[in-house]
Structure 1
Amino acid sequence: MRTKTLIITITCGVLALGGVVYAVQARAGDDSPAAQPAAAKVATAEVVRTDLSDYWAESGTVGYRKQRTLRGVAPGVLTWLPRPGSTIARGDILYRSGDRPVILFYGPSPMFRDIDVVGMVGRDVRVLADNLRALGYRIGSQPAPGTRVTVQGGPAPTATGQGANGDANKPDSTPTASGTGAYQTVVTSQDAVFTRSLRDAVKRWQAAKGVRPATGTVTLGDVLVLPGAVRVGAASAQLGDDATGNLMAISDQTKAVSVEIDASRADDLRAGQKVQITLPDSSHTSGTINSVSSNVQAGPSDGDDPGPEGPKVQVVVAVDNASAIQNISSASVEVRFTGTTAHDVLAVPVGALLALSSGGYGVQLSDGALTAVKVGLFADGMVQISGTGITAGTRVVTTS
């Protein structure tokens, strides 16, 4: 028994000693320094001097510009209409009435009478002469402004400003002594004279367009005058209808974005201002305000309830890059208008602002100092600030 006890005792002692030796060796071998906590990374941003603008957005619609309804001029039976989507330019046929073509001319004023007597003077004769010349017809020379000419076939203009032929009143128009109904008048810069050469050009033009008989007389309704080429929309009439009613929708060839805005914002916008447009595919393009309507439209109402929406005005925006909406026939887009602009101000990211316990805002400088600031305009994630020690280039702490 004593031998067993001695062995156990010695064994336990050796194990204890080994544990001590291991502990000492382990402590002696770990000579690396104690781990230190990592320094916190702080994001900073530079105070910049810039222009800031806030924005507001409205929904707009892509469509063709200046959409309106075309009405016929002279009585007759409608016998032909152009295909929707087609373009009608100067000299093209707009429609047929009694199978007689009605031709598009460009000009500032409509035709208002038959042009059938050599010597007739007026703005409508100028429209006729200008368009035939533009179509390549030789119309001969025209009397210079200030020339006195004799107009046959009607009395002198009355004091109301219109003679029997519809001529504009000329202050010095005087009847001739022959008593045949002729009178003399002075050609102005806005007039042209229906000369024999111009009548001959009309005959050639009528023959080319299939007008029978080609008499050289332009009857009211033969020509319809518009500012330029038009795109044909949906028909409003059917063949066989009276040609004096609504015939078809027409518009300009160019597309634009129409936006209805609150009338209270109209004074903030003007023609020429730039806007940003977000297209249906989320791409962006720029635009320019073409017009701000002065016609205020009442907002939608339900009986006596005026509804939540107030009066509206229409804004037309031209797209700077026309190809951006070339394949869009009709779609909603977002138009972003510029509101208030602050020029040449100091600004930082909004994330740099700190709410102070005493009220107001402050920013923390990169050296740790806290300084109060006065805030101004907020725009595009930036905020206008000013305060002691805040200059362009100062670095401030901000959110990462």
Structure 2
Amino acid sequence: MLIAPAVAVVAAVAVVGALGLGGGDDADPRAPLRSGSVVSVTRATLTERTTVEGQLGYGAELPLPVKAQGTVTWLPEPGATVERGDELLRVDDRPVVLMYGSLPTYRSLGLTAQEDGRGSDDGNSDERENDGGGDAKSPNLSGPTAPPGGAGTERTSGSSRAARELKGMDVMQFETNLAALGYTGFTVDERFTSLTADAVKRWQKSLGVAQTGTVDAGDVIYATSKVRIGQPGTRLGSPVGENTLTYTGTARKVTVNASATEAAWAVRDARVTVQLPNGNPVQGTVAAIGKQATAPEGGGGEGGGTGRPATIPVTVAIGDQKSVGQLESGPVTVEYVGKEVNGALTVPVSALVALAEGGHGLETADGRFVAVKTGLYADGDVEVSGAAVREGMKVRIPE
């Protein structure tokens, strides 16, 4: 009679424990039966972001096209900034000056002598002459210069010598720079007149060189803007060579060796975010994309393969240079948008469940399971779609 009630009590306790309705001190009475949270299906924009490694710097150093011939007698310090009118170097103790422009120097500029006597008192050449004046092979380009003023004629050994003007876009480019430096008194055009020669003499006087009124091909070097001096390729006292002096632009930029198979993001003017070595993010835009892929350095493996993909160089420009601070170089991380879906139905990735029949599904708040098709994964969320999925529906996060 005492044994039967005891068995009944033990059985009751076992049922209660199996149902989770009782327990010891570790049980949490607030825990739900099946899940810890319920979330809503929301409509949002999903953005997939990818990061690649890059290098902050001033870009590749390029050789300056020094045309002056002689011995290098002075060089600027690496890292120095040179602007229009400043000296880039000295050759035979004669300054080589930076000017702004895209047309390279290919001839000397000045008033030349004309032996046939067909010259007018204002120094203008006869209209029957070569109006272009831009043929570098013309024997008149390097002839004697005109007397001061550049006008009129002079008698030499019984022959008449008249000043002849050069014409061309290179003349306009130089005159634009001369006027920008404050040496005016002439019209900025394609004609090198006696007034231009007078301004050149004043400029030459400021440089401390002979006031000839003629600009030799080696006297100036053109760049599109101010430059930053790189590492010199020669020493003082050495003759001028092809790599006498190198330069870069003055704006800091980022170079990325992007995988050739994953460089679809590298589109000109595409926006990216650059994480600096100090952790600060700055905005950048893709400025240039290389057209030639480069195989990775080093060997390894049979057949010389390395297992790493070929890369193409991508240059990222930084518009706000002040945002970079004092940093000049260092490793950085470039973040770009890989894919983006607007107005997608999304749930946390943790809400997905694997269905017995295959694929993914969601568990509704009332315990039903609905199949879904997944799309873009980004920032812990996933795009879902399906006939039974709608915005605002409640789904469980499986334990």
Give the TM-score normalised by the residue count of structure 2: 0.74
Is 1:200–2:198 an aligned residue pair? yes
Q: Secondary structure at the match of 2:201?
A: helix
Q: What fraction of aligned residue pairs are identical, expressed as a percent?
A: 34
CA contact (8 A) 1:76 1:244 kept: no
Is 1:296–2:293 an aligned residue pair? yes
Q: Which residue of 2 is the match for residue 69 of structure 1?
A: 63
Distance 1:302 1:262 in 2: 18
Counterpart of 1:98 in structure 2: which amino acid? D
Q: Which residue of 2 is the match for residue 188 of structure 1?
A: none
Q: Which residue of 2 is the match for residue 269 of structure 1?
A: 266
Q: Which residue of 2 is the match for residue 132 of structure 1?
A: 178
Distance 2:351 2:171 in 1: 71
CA RMSD of aligned residues (A): 2.3
Question: Which segment drifts farther, 298-307 or 369-378?
Answer: 298-307
Is 1:107–2:101 an aligned residue pair? yes
Which residue of 19, 33, 38 corresponds with 2:30?
38
Q: Which residue of 2 is the match for residue 218 of structure 1?
A: 215
Distance 2:31 2:294 in 1: 63
CA contact (8 A) 1:45 1:395 kept: yes
Distance 2:174 2:343 in 1: 56
Counterpart of 1:38 in structure 2: which amino acid? R
How far residue 329 of structure 1 moved from its aligned partner, in angstroms, is: 2.2
CA contact (8 A) 2:353 2:398 kept: no
Q: Which residue of 1 is the match for residue 359 of structure 2?
A: 360
Q: 1:50-199 maps to which residues of 2 (within 5 A)?
A: 50-65=44-59, 67-117=61-111, 118-142=164-188, 192-199=190-197
Counterpart of 2:351 in structure 1: which amino acid? A
Residues 75, 142 of structure 1: CA spacing in aligned structure 2 closer, same or farther, 3 A cutoff?
closer
Is 1:351–2:350 an aligned residue pair? yes
* Count of residues paired in the alignment: 318
Counterpart of 1:316 in structure 2: which amino acid? T
Deviations 1:280-339 (A, max 9, x none): 233433321111111322222439503222321111112354334232222111112222
Q: Secondary structure at the match of 2:187?
A: coil
Give the unaligned 5+ runs of structure 1: 1-33, 144-191
Distance 1:269 1:248 in 2: 32
CA contact (8 A) 2:42 2:347 kept: yes
How far residue 399 of structure 1 moved from its aligned partner, in angstroms, is: 6.3
Deviations 1:143-202 (A, max 9, x none): 6xxxxxxxxxxxxxxxxxxxxxxxxxxxxxxxxxxxxxxxxxxxxxxxx11011111111
CA contact (8 A) 1:120 1:194 kept: yes
Distance 1:138 1:388 in 2: 78
Q: Which residue of 2 is the match for residue 286 of structure 1?
A: 283
Distance 1:317 1:116 in 2: 42
Residues 139, 311 of structure 1: CA spacing in aligned structure 2 closer, same or farther, 3 A cutoff?
farther
Distance 1:79 1:298 in 2: 41
CA contact (8 A) 1:76 1:97 kept: yes
CA contact (8 A) 1:87 1:231 kept: yes
- Structure of larger gyration radius: 1
CA contact (8 A) 2:282 2:324 kept: no
Residues 122, 244 of structure 1: CA spacing in aligned structure 2 closer, same or farther, 3 A cutoff?
farther
Residues 256, 363 of structure 1: CA spacing in aligned structure 2 closer, same or farther, 3 A cutoff?
same
Counterpart of 2:58 in structure 1: which amino acid? Y
CA contact (8 A) 2:50 2:338 kept: yes
How far residue 269 of structure 1 moved from its aligned partner, in angstroms, is: 2.2
Q: Secondary structure at the match of 1:42?
A: strand
Distance 1:197 1:395 in 2: 85
Residues 64, 302 of structure 1: CA spacing in aligned structure 2 closer, same or farther, 3 A cutoff?
same
Give the TM-score normalised by the residue count of structure 1: 0.74
Deviations 1:206-227 (A, max 9, x none): 111212x111100110000111
